[in-house]
Amino acid sequence: MRQEQPPRPEPLDPPMVPFAVAGLAVWAVVGLVLLIFFRTWLTEHGRQDWLWTCLAGFLWGFPGLAVMMRHDANRRRRRAAAQTLRPDDAGR
């Protein structure tokens, strides 16, 4: 006798723009902290590349933000289409 499997849960699909904005903010804050408080130490120890790494992370965050904005727009479109196909599930 074969047992019926429980239904699979739907995959998580959270909004991604807040994650991209948080990443931008983290790179910016770390870069500013390094620049303001540790610039002398970084220069003395030859670690100025840490500042460039923070700048690169911050700047690469903007294309990532654009991609996540596009992802969220598609996500909203998918959910709206699913609601028009299944109006009886709107109360869930």
pTM of the model: 0.77
The average confidence (pLDDT) of the chain is 91
Average pLDDT (59-66) is 98
Query: What length does the chain have?
Result: 92
Residue 54: how many CB atoms within 10 A of its CB? 20
Q: Tens digit of pLDDT for each residue in 2-33?
A: 788 899 998 888 999 999 999 999 999 999 99
Tens of pLDDT, residues 38-50: 999 999 999 999 9
